Structure 1
Amino acid sequence: MARRLDVDRSDEVSAALLADLRSMITSDRVLADGPDHVRSVTLFNGAVDIRPAVVVRCGTTGDVQAAVRAAREHGVPVSVRGGGHDFWGRALRPGGLVIDLADMRGVRVDADRRVATVEGGALSSGVVAAAERAGLTAVTGTAGAVGMVGLTLGGGYGPLTGRFGLAADNLLGAEVVLADGSRMDTDAEHESDLFWALRGGGGNFGVVTSARIRLHPVPTVVAGTILYPISQAPRVLADLAEILQGCPDELTVDVGLLPGADGAPVVYVAPTWSGNLDEGAAENGPVYALTRLGTPSLVDIGRTTRSAGLAATDAMFPVGRMGAIRSRNISRISGSITDVLVQGAQAFTSPFSAILLHQFHGAAARVPLDATAFGRREPHQMAELISLWEKDADITVDDDGEARHLRWVEQLHAALEPFSLPGGYVNFLGPETPDQVARSYGPNTERLLAIKSAMDPDSVFVGTPLPNDAQGTASTTV
């Protein structure tokens, strides 16, 4: 039975916890201070300010098991750091124990079976790089610095969604350390309830120390960027909406509004073609059709590797800026939604913020709703509303500091509500949006919560907020 933490004895408990950990795990992997500790608690979002008590730099599954058992014994909250890319800072918990998987980033590729076995801390960039060396690729999101396992557990939208489904749809099995410190292997035939929950239910059921994922023989794609002036947004987005309705599986298109080089917002269209490369590169093909929605100010389309695309996104969104995120799902881009998006772009409070729409269609939309925990399977656009700013750099004596950046994202989030589907993408939802959390899993909610109750009745793991559950409030907002 886990011991309850008495606040007045927190220093005593911390000392006892450290001693306990160092008796089971190599001492230099148990960090309470110093440069390695600072690196472990420094996340992608510079606005996160959470002080855990101890970090355990795990090197093996056994280290993870020991860390979980020690945290339970000493009544200390647990969090898991994979890539540390979550905007809400859920890799850390106040006064808690961080299971840092940065030393568990190995990727082993079985080219014949087209399967990769990835350790719990592997980054998307590392998985794709390893797969490319075998002439394959993995289904990831758009950024390479994101942890592969965390992305997958929450769903995983990305540029291959149309052809191969979500990252979660490509999960074949996992090794999981449970809340009692025991180890469990799960796949479609073994502990199938847990396997079902891991595909979209978030990191709420244990620490995934390794995962097996399906790979695909498309290391090279036709992809790139097309930019249009904001004045052309109504026409461009209206025509694009029609194209997306009949989009082939091989073409997945991200679209958004970004601050341009001159400060004026631009319409951003980012296609990825994963089919026949000659067809994708043809001037009369479906990719180049997206360059004729208006008069583009930039067209940069060509054959490229998936790893190059991930690196380009990482360069756009470097580690350390202050940030906040909100999300909505919309069925399609309509005129009313275009008006809201354009008004939001014209009100950008920072040159680093962004409005991005990720297309969900094709193979992902053909998976039965009850086949995985992921809660929405009809075609839609997932809107990612990102407020990013440099600390103090763009704040003057005439404004009210960082609050204006938060107001911008909240106001845009509220303005999209009348046009949005229920729920949202759980990887981007936090305690500020309980109404969306409550409706994110639809008819899968009851089964998901039953599995949570069976696997982790004390809610040791709080990777993402679950419906009808207060665990999301354990995360600190930005």
Structure 2
Amino acid sequence: MSAALLADLRSTISSSRVLTGGPEYVSSVTLFNAAVDIRPAVIVRCATAADVQAAVRAAGEHGVPVSVRGGGHDFWGRALRSGGLVIDLAEMRGVRVDADRRVAAVEGGALSSDVVAAAERVGLTAVTGTAGAVGMVGITLGGGYGPLTGRFGLAADNLLGAEVVLADGSRVDTDAEHEPDLFWALRGGGGNFGVVTSARIRLHPVPTVVTGTIFYPISQASRVLADLGEILQGGPDELTVDVGLLPGADGAPAVYVAPTWSGNLDEGAAENGPVHALTRLGTPLLVDIGRPARSAGLAATDAMFPVGRMGAIRSRNISGISASITDVLVQGAQAFTSPFSAILLHQFHGAAARVPLDSTAFGRREPHQMAELISLWEKGDDIAGDGDGGARHLRWVEQLHAALEPFSLPGGYVNFLGPETPDQVARSYGPNTERLLAIKSAVDPDSVFVGTPLPSDAPGTASPTF
């Protein structure tokens, strides 16, 4: 670590927030995925946009690589770079809600749960993913599938504007009228264009939904998923359904159906309504349907997937749930190597599918299912059993990922893609690729910011930028 860099940082930022070791440093490098072991040279805990500017400029002047830590939920640990400078936004979690305009001003380090909690206090909510511990800005920049996607679009579709610190340390405000190319790129292009120190997000008057979980035995998977696929194909915008396969309490895999109804609550909760129809796809093992606040649903997912396990993730996009895909998923579930792993399908439909493809950087707008293949295991388990250091868990997710390839659409969800899948990276932005790379070259020609992988200039190839 350069003494000159530290002196430079501490001349403008409080020494207590420039960390090279100690408990706060350890806290900052502790991420959701315990398999990540990356040691940056210095952590800068920024409290203001001016702190971010100072950190970016200092890193540039001293030739130190930069990363940005929001929620720290990325499976590859891209919030950190070995020997680098981390811009840690953990102290920038403020959320201000304008109830009349239905807009939230969100600081760059705010979690999804922070935004939803603030909005709920005035009868509103934000479009988020399924977990509350994920950084709101990070999920938004990459796209943001979630339980309100059908009615209100992706999280990225609800981004109204942002304050961004660019690679040269300058600060710009961007929206549809100001720096429109940058604004276009931020909606789905990932964290590759600067540090978003604050964002303006559209809110919606849906603080409470009809939602819950339904479990079916794995033996009923073919029937349940076939009937569910037919229901979802023509379903209303208000009904978005996650479906998957999870290890059950007895260790046997089970089919998991998680509907969210964001329309009229009485209609959604009715026994003959759209949500309870999903309890009659077979003979369920468990039905738990209610009208919780959205914050409760986020907390439940956080409890299901707590911080501190080892993990890996892969992703595919599929056009629907066919019999062949069901067979692949069931075989994958029957081969689970850990009671904490999961196969989840996130529905993309409705409002999200009606957004013109060229209006944001996000690269796929036709209805589909985004398959999230999650391998998780406890720390001690990576040296247990056959003593292969967790390799069997990685083999499981890689084999399932490969088995789905013949049924998959080109590309994938950039928040869940890493250097192992350059073919998916290369095709994730489709016809938006050329414009996205041109904007990247204009605002960050030296690739200072490398939040998620971008395609290379060469057609059909990809070079992740981290």
Aligned counterpart, 1:183: 171
1:266 is matched with which residue: 237, 254, 261? 254
* 3-state DSSP of counterpart to 1:220: coil
Q: Distance in 1 between matches of 2:359 and 2:95?
A: 27
Residues 1:229 and 2:217 are matched in the alignment: yes
Q: Provide closer, same or farther for how the CA distance between residues 467 and 177 of structure 1 changes in structure 2, counting only shifts above 3 A.
A: same
Q: Distance in 2 between matches of 1:473 and 1:267?
A: 37
Cα deviation for residue 400 of structure 1 reads 2.2
Q: Distance in 1 between matches of 2:61 and 2:92?
A: 24
1:297 is matched with which residue: 285, 289, 292? 285
Question: Which deviations, in whole Å up to 9, do the C-alpha atoms of 1:311-366 show, x marking residues without a partner?
Answer: 00000000010000000000000000000000000000000000000000000000
Residues 1:466 and 2:454 are matched in the alignment: yes
1:110 is matched with which residue: 90, 95, 98? 98
Residues 228 and 294, structure 1, Cα contact 8 Å, conserved in 2: yes
* 3-state DSSP of counterpart to 2:291: strand
Aligned counterpart, 2:238: 250
Cα deviation for residue 473 of structure 1 reads 5.6
Residues 1:16 and 2:8 are matched in the alignment: no
Q: One-letter code of the match for 2:367?
A: P
* 3-state DSSP of counterpart to 1:393: helix
Aligned counterpart, 1:45: 33
Q: Distance in 2 between matches of 1:38 and 1:352?
A: 25
Aligned counterpart, 2:396: 408
Cα deviation for residue 19 of structure 1 reads 1.1
Q: Distance in 2 between matches of 1:473 and 1:396?
A: 35
Q: How does 1:352-367 map to 2 (within 5 A)?
A: 352-367=340-355
Q: Distance in 1 between matches of 2:383 and 2:32?
A: 21
Residues 392 and 401, structure 1, Cα contact 8 Å, conserved in 2: no
**Percent of aligned pairs with the same amino acid:** 90
Q: Distance in 1 between matches of 2:345 and 2:237?
A: 17
* 3-state DSSP of counterpart to 1:257: strand
Cα deviation for residue 398 of structure 1 reads 3.3
Q: Distance in 1 between matches of 2:389 and 2:427?
A: 33
Q: One-letter code of the match for 2:464?
A: G
Question: Which deviations, in whole Å up to 9, do the C-alpha atoms of 1:396-431 show, x marking residues without a partner?
Answer: 343523000000000000000000000000000010
2:319 is matched with which residue: 331, 336, 340? 331
Q: Distance in 1 between matches of 2:451 and 2:348?
A: 23
Aligned counterpart, 1:8: none
1:436 is matched with which residue: 403, 406, 424? 424
Q: Provide closer, same or farther for how the CA distance between residues 373 and 252 of structure 1 changes in structure 2, counting only shifts above 3 A.
A: same
* 3-state DSSP of counterpart to 1:289: helix
Q: CA RMSD in A?
A: 0.9
Aligned counterpart, 1:340: 328
Residues 462 and 471, structure 1, Cα contact 8 Å, conserved in 2: no
1:386 is matched with which residue: 374, 377, 397? 374
Cα deviation for residue 24 of structure 1 reads 1.0
* 3-state DSSP of counterpart to 2:441: helix
Cα deviation for residue 472 of structure 1 reads 2.7
Cα deviation for residue 393 of structure 1 reads 3.4
Q: Distance in 1 between matches of 2:264 and 2:223?
A: 29
Residues 21 and 66, structure 1, Cα contact 8 Å, conserved in 2: yes
Q: One-letter code of the match for 1:425?
A: Y
Cα deviation for residue 247 of structure 1 reads 1.1
* 3-state DSSP of counterpart to 1:25: coil
Question: Which deviations, in whole Å up to 9, do the C-alpha atoms of 1:92-141 show, x marking residues without a partner?
Answer: 00100000000000000000000000000000000000000010000000
Residues 1:120 and 2:112 are matched in the alignment: no
Aligned counterpart, 1:351: 339
Cα deviation for residue 35 of structure 1 reads 0.3
2:49 is matched with which residue: 45, 51, 61? 61
Q: Distance in 1 between matches of 2:53 and 2:382?
A: 45
Q: One-letter code of the match for 1:81?
A: R
Question: Which deviations, in whole Å up to 9, do the C-alpha atoms of 1:37-74 show, x marking residues without a partner?
Answer: 00001000000011100000000000000000000000
Q: Distance in 2 between matches of 1:294 and 1:82?
A: 42
Q: How does 1:306-325 map to 2 (within 5 A)?
A: 306-325=294-313
TM-score calculated relative to the size of structure 1:
0.96
Residues 450 and 465, structure 2, Cα contact 8 Å, conserved in 1: no
Residues 53 and 97, structure 1, Cα contact 8 Å, conserved in 2: yes
Q: One-letter code of the match for 2:111?
A: L
Q: Distance in 1 between matches of 2:109 and 2:386?
A: 43
Q: Distance in 1 between matches of 2:193 and 2:338?
A: 37
Aligned counterpart, 1:4: none
Residues 139 and 158, structure 1, Cα contact 8 Å, conserved in 2: yes
Cα deviation for residue 164 of structure 1 reads 0.1
Aligned counterpart, 1:206: 194
Residues 459 and 471, structure 1, Cα contact 8 Å, conserved in 2: no
Moved over 6 A (4+): none
Aligned counterpart, 1:445: 433
Cα deviation for residue 80 of structure 1 reads 0.2
Aligned counterpart, 1:151: 139
Q: How does 1:77-88 map to 2 (within 5 A)?
A: 77-88=65-76
Residues 1:160 and 2:148 are matched in the alignment: yes
Aligned counterpart, 2:83: 95
Q: One-letter code of the match for 2:413?
A: Y
Q: How does 1:361-380 map to 2 (within 5 A)?
A: 361-380=349-368
Q: Which runs of 5+ in 1 are unaligned?
A: 1-10
Q: Distance in 2 between matches of 1:247 and 1:432?
A: 35
Q: One-letter code of the match for 1:472?
A: P
Aligned counterpart, 1:27: 15
* 3-state DSSP of counterpart to 1:227: strand
Q: Which runs of 5+ in 2 are unaligned?
A: none
Residues 71 and 111, structure 2, Cα contact 8 Å, conserved in 1: yes
Q: Distance in 2 between matches of 1:374 and 1:413?
A: 22
Q: One-letter code of the match for 2:138?
A: G
Question: Which deviations, in whole Å up to 9, do the C-alpha atoms of 1:366-414 show, x marking residues without a partner?
Answer: 0000000000000000000000000123753435230000000000000
TM-score calculated relative to the size of structure 2:
0.98
